[in-house]
Structure 1
Amino acid sequence: MSNRYYHGLAKSMMFTIILVSFTPLLIITLLAGYQYSVAYKAKVIAHLRELVLKHDQNVDSYLKERIAEIQVLADLEGIDNLKNEDRLKALHISLLRHHRGDFVDLGLVNSKGVQVAYAGPFNLRGADYANADWFKNIQERQIYVSDVFLGLRGVPHFIIAVLLESGGEKWVLRTTLDFIAFNKLVEDIRIGETGLAFIINRKGEFQTTPREDLIKEVPYLKELAAGKNEFSGLLRRRASISIKTNPATGHETIFVISPIKNGNWLMIYQQDVSDAFSDLNQARNLATVVLLLGGVAIIAMAYLMSKRMARKVEMSDLEKDMMNEQVIEAGKLASVGELAAGIAHEINNPVAIMVEEAGWIQDLLEEGLYVEDNEREVSRALTQIRSQGTRCKDITHKLLSFAHKIDPTIIRVCLNDLIHEMADLCEQRAKYANVNIETSLADNLPGVAASPSELQQVFLNLINNAIDSMDPKGGELDISTRFEDGVVVVSISDTGCGIPKSNLSRIFDPFFTTKPVGKGTGLGLSIIYGIISKMNGEITVKSALDKGTVFTLKLPAAKDESGRPDLECDG
């Protein structure tokens, strides 16, 4: 077989090993990666939801506690004590002491919006709030928490206002909450590089200090607050989560939105998906590196193993070919042994003639060459001796040619010539068995590409087997050739005893023989089958008991340079 075959075999084995090794590894990696990814994302999102929900509740609790304290203060002190600035200042100091500065100031505002009493760091006694939004809103509610605004003091703040009634007149107790302390409640939610939280009102205005890069999102946040974008369905649910493209950054972003302050404010947490799932991405990258390294190792091992296995197959085939050659050689020697008796008899006849003629020459020489026709008779006897010697030479040449070591070299062989040669070689043995050999060979038969010595073995074995099947009663052995459908067909038929139907399927098996012990090795037909198969040919057999057997060989015709059958062989 050619090196291309073993190279292809190595590639085939390598790809098979890679496929068998990679498939379960890839399936397990994908399944495990998918399960881990789903579980990790669910865990991260659940963590973010719980975090936002916790801070959401903290903000609401913070506001409710401050509102409750102002309400308690109003109920316990009454309007008269609240009008007293000294008492109001004492109350403010008490609030600062117990709440670490959350209450920036306290003020009492009358029904006209004028602040009649004030305790705090600003000079706001007498301030007029009649046109302030918070003052207008408190007239319709008992309690009001404003949005963050600048107001008279010019710094961001928001107030809690409680409506009181005394003597048929309405009063408002108001307090300003520390914006910095409130802002820290939200700023504590910082995860990763991009995770942050902030609060906006229904106008899309920030109620906490915005990070600089959030300014780009203001138009988007205004649409969100107004319920005009894709988050509108989430605004009434606590800690609702969605993953969408942030139009301000163009990145896939996790949004956690929760309404606070009775739905007037929205707490929003956002974080880039790549940042939120950075550990997952690192795990994926690590798994990819491990998979690639494993893949490289698998490919390297597959390459080395396939080369090694292909080399072993090649060595095994070489050993098998050598063994086959030895088997064929042994079969050939056995055939020579079978021919020996016939060859010896065929040589014995011309040798006897030569001995007789030599004795006659000797007698003539004793009489003298010049007596009558002695000189002409001596010349005739010498010619006869030369003729019989040539005959012996031809016989031994054919035998030696056949007995020569098998040569596997492939050349163009003319079957008709080779069949004539093998028929002549077996002719004497056929006479002893009363077998008549007839040949019917087609003219202009194409040559075949084969080893001549191997084809000699094929035809000699088939002819000898046919002769054996007809020995001793005799019969007819017909050998014919023809060319049909691009192949050379050779038929060898005999009128022998035939082959039982039960044995037809086994006749090409090694060491199977129906001959008596010592008469056959059971290798002849097995050798023939191997030689014909190696030529990409086909051998079939038909047989009937007591009627005879026909072996048919189909051999590919040799091609000329144009790809057509080579018709140079002349039958």
Structure 2
Amino acid sequence: MFDRHYYKSLTRSMVLTVFLVSLTPLALVSAITSYQFHTSYKDRVNAHLRELVLKHKRNIDGFLAEKLAVIRVLADLIPESRFRDPAALQAILKSLQDRHHGAFVDMGLVDAYGVQVAYAGPLRLERARYAETRWFREAMRHELYVSDVFLGLRGSPHFIVAVRVRASGAEWILRATVDFESFNELVESVAVGQTGLAYIVNNQGEFQTRPRREAVVGPAEMRGILARASESNGRGDFSPESAAAGIRMSLAAVALDVIHGSAGGGDVLLLTAPLKDGAWTLTYQQDEADAYESLYHARNLSLFAILGGGVGILLMAVLVSNRMVNRIVEADRERDMMNEQVIEAGKLASVGELAAGIAHEINNPLAIMLEEAGWVLDLLDDEPLRRHESHAEMVRALKQIRQQGGRCRDITHKLLSFARKIDPTVKLVQVNEIVRDMAALSDQRAHLANVRISVDLAPDLPEIPASPSELQQVLVNLINNAIDAMERGGELKVSTRREGASVLLDVADSGMGIPKANMARIFDPFYTTKPVGKGTGLGLSICYGIVRKMGGEISVDSVLNQGTVFHIRLPIEEARA
């Protein structure tokens, strides 16, 4: 009786073990690979964004520097008196607009008291007063100046580029207004992905361009970011000048911050780069989910692949465990059958030992009979007995007795030799002699089974290193199996030959053959197709082990209804040396 609960528990344990052992390396490798890929990909994306922002910063700085340089060149080449002429100033503005695609909106000449003495442009700003404006005060302090974005007298966002010049014994400011929309489009052209957004703020965190959608940082947050940048450069206080100095110390770098829990609910990447010698900050923001979209897509695919792999491993574990448990159940059943066959084999071994004892006891009277027959033959050689009328018949009978007694002695000697315990001692043996002995020993059994044994032995075979008793056992097992396979009689042929550095021994029969389904298992221990009580399933397994121990090979060819041939290849002494 088989315990079903035991086999179910064994199946569960095997499934769990196989699943964990198979999945653990997969999970570890996937986790390490995913971490490395995640880190590398983020670094590459961050580096790409830094490079993009830095390149755009250079474009914007170049744009501002170009506009400022144009005004400076005009101030250096054109006398102040021409700027006072409205028609000449209007012609200059028209030329600038044509060559710079409308980037300049208007121009004006402002005296040292902040009064605009000449103006060209779409508005009526003649005699406008700028003495109290911040941009005018800063322009008077610096030779070249770019203002922040402000509303001013025109009531719309704009910024000014200004050059301070000295002419006619006084200082003048030549200023031009840059088209805000063109500048705003230039700043926003850096947008990447669906959520990428670029804008400019000054040191107070005030927007200098108009973002196309809401920014994640307001003026207060931006001032905090600038303050941290200032502190990281060794400054504890915060002011526009200190922030500008702190940013100026890292002009070559693009700072990267992550804003957690933005208004949209997710994290946002925030990159900043200084502009206008640190007076402005170019800010680029993008949702982290958008920036790392490909990474998250690859991560989801990896998780799906791992999940699919886990399901596949589980199914395979169940399948393999069920097969293995079924094999175990089958092996347990075969074990019970083999136990019975081993008992039968033990009985046969006892019978063999008994037969060996009987053969040994028979040897003594056989020796006496042969000796006495020889003595009587010697007596018949005397002259008086030669004349007896039955002398010839008696000599013939005595010679027959000696001949048959010798045959009996040879049979008992061979039986005793085979029945002894196997001696594993290896020595040089002649294969042909062992083949002849084993064929003669099996001749009587073959005759009773209507099987004819023939030998085809190659002459002058070299000796091979082997255990004689083990080689005898291999031959007897193969011969007996061949006789059993020919239930209706047939022919059994044992042949030897040399092939290269090996001696080949073939045992061929004309039996029913071996089905292909059984070919893979014929050398398995306890595997037999004979009825219970007729075989233990150990013969071919023992033959396989002995031949492999000798350094040889054993193989089989079989065709159903035609016969089977076992091939044994044994190395000669030179090859093994």
- Calculate the TM-score normalised by the size of structure 1: 0.56
Shift of 1:4: 2.8
Unaligned runs of 5+ in 1: 339-509, 511-520, 522-571
Q: For residue 254 of structure 2, what is the aligned residue in structure 1?
A: 240
SS of alignment partner, residue 210 of structure 1: coil
Q: For residue 71 of structure 1, what is the aligned residue in structure 2?
A: 72
Is 1:21 paired with 2:35?
no
Contact kept, 8 Å, 1:129 with 1:135, in 2: the verdict is: yes
Q: For residue 397 of structure 1, what is the aligned residue in structure 2?
A: none
SS of alignment partner, residue 152 of structure 1: helix
SS of alignment partner, residue 162 of structure 1: strand
Shift of 1:34: 2.3
Taking the aligned partners of 1:61 and 1:334, their CA distance within structure 2 comes to 105
Taking the aligned partners of 1:227 and 1:35, their CA distance within structure 2 comes to 30
Superposition pairs of residues 118-517 of structure 1, within 5 angstroms: 118-214=119-215, 217-227=218-228, 235-236=247-248, 237=250, 238-246=252-260, 248-249=262-263, 251-328=266-343
Shift of 1:277: 0.8
The one-letter code matched in structure 2 to 1:48 is L
Shift of 1:144: 1.1
SS of alignment partner, residue 165 of structure 2: strand
The one-letter code matched in structure 2 to 1:203 is Q
Shift of 1:244: 2.6
Contact kept, 8 Å, 1:224 with 1:232, in 2: the verdict is: no
SS of alignment partner, residue 213 of structure 1: coil
Deviations 1:266-288 (A, max 9, x none): 11112222221111000010111
Shift of 1:30: 2.3
Taking the aligned partners of 2:315 and 2:258, their CA distance within structure 1 comes to 44
Q: 1:70 to 1:130 in 2, by over 3 A?
A: same
Deviations 1:102-138 (A, max 9, x none): 0100100111111111110110011111111111111
Shift of 1:325: 3.6
Taking the aligned partners of 1:116 and 1:298, their CA distance within structure 2 comes to 86
Taking the aligned partners of 1:231 and 1:256, their CA distance within structure 2 comes to 16
SS of alignment partner, residue 280 of structure 1: helix
Contact kept, 8 Å, 2:196 with 2:287, in 1: the verdict is: yes
- Calculate the TM-score normalised by the size of structure 2: 0.55
Q: 1:208 to 1:232 in 2, by over 3 A?
A: farther
- Return structure 1 stretches of 4+ with deviation > 6 angstroms: 228-234, 329-336
Q: For residue 519 of structure 2, what is the aligned residue in structure 1?
A: none
SS of alignment partner, residue 209 of structure 1: coil
Q: For residue 483 of structure 1, what is the aligned residue in structure 2?
A: none
Taking the aligned partners of 1:189 and 1:77, their CA distance within structure 2 comes to 37
Shift of 1:333: 11
Contact kept, 8 Å, 2:204 with 2:219, in 1: the verdict is: no
Deviations 1:525-565 (A, max 9, x none): xxxxxxxxxxxxxxxxxxxxxxxxxxxxxxxxxxxxxxxxx
Taking the aligned partners of 2:15 and 2:130, their CA distance within structure 1 comes to 87
The one-letter code matched in structure 2 to 1:293 is G
Percent identity reads 47
Q: For residue 492 of structure 1, what is the aligned residue in structure 2?
A: none
Contact kept, 8 Å, 2:198 with 2:211, in 1: the verdict is: no
Contact kept, 8 Å, 1:33 with 1:284, in 2: the verdict is: yes
Contact kept, 8 Å, 1:149 with 1:156, in 2: the verdict is: yes
Q: 1:333 to 1:140 in 2, by over 3 A?
A: closer
SS of alignment partner, residue 214 of structure 2: helix
SS of alignment partner, residue 258 of structure 1: strand
Unaligned runs of 5+ in 2: 235-245, 354-524, 526-535, 537-577
Point out the more displaced range, 140-149 or 3-12.
3-12
Taking the aligned partners of 1:160 and 1:88, their CA distance within structure 2 comes to 16
Taking the aligned partners of 1:275 and 1:107, their CA distance within structure 2 comes to 45
Deviations 1:488-516 (A, max 9, x none): xxxxxxxxxxxxxxxxxxxxxx9xxxxxx
Contact kept, 8 Å, 2:216 with 2:262, in 1: the verdict is: no
Contact kept, 8 Å, 1:108 with 1:173, in 2: the verdict is: yes
Contact kept, 8 Å, 1:239 with 1:257, in 2: the verdict is: no
Shift of 1:297: 1.1
Q: 1:275 to 1:101 in 2, by over 3 A?
A: same
Shift of 1:326: 4.5
Contact kept, 8 Å, 1:204 with 1:224, in 2: the verdict is: no
Q: 1:36 to 1:243 in 2, by over 3 A?
A: same
SS of alignment partner, residue 254 of structure 1: strand
Contact kept, 8 Å, 2:105 with 2:121, in 1: the verdict is: yes
The one-letter code matched in structure 2 to 1:86 is A
Taking the aligned partners of 2:40 and 2:349, their CA distance within structure 1 comes to 78
Q: 1:30 to 1:230 in 2, by over 3 A?
A: farther
Q: 1:31 to 1:253 in 2, by over 3 A?
A: same
Contact kept, 8 Å, 1:223 with 1:229, in 2: the verdict is: no
Shift of 1:139: 1.5
Q: 1:86 to 1:149 in 2, by over 3 A?
A: same
Q: CA RMSD in A?
A: 2.9
Is 1:32 paired with 2:33?
yes
The one-letter code matched in structure 2 to 1:281 is Y
Contact kept, 8 Å, 1:241 with 1:254, in 2: the verdict is: no
Contact kept, 8 Å, 2:151 with 2:158, in 1: the verdict is: yes
Contact kept, 8 Å, 1:205 with 1:222, in 2: the verdict is: no
Shift of 1:32: 2.5
Q: How many residues align?
A: 341
The one-letter code matched in structure 2 to 1:264 is A
The one-letter code matched in structure 2 to 1:316 is A
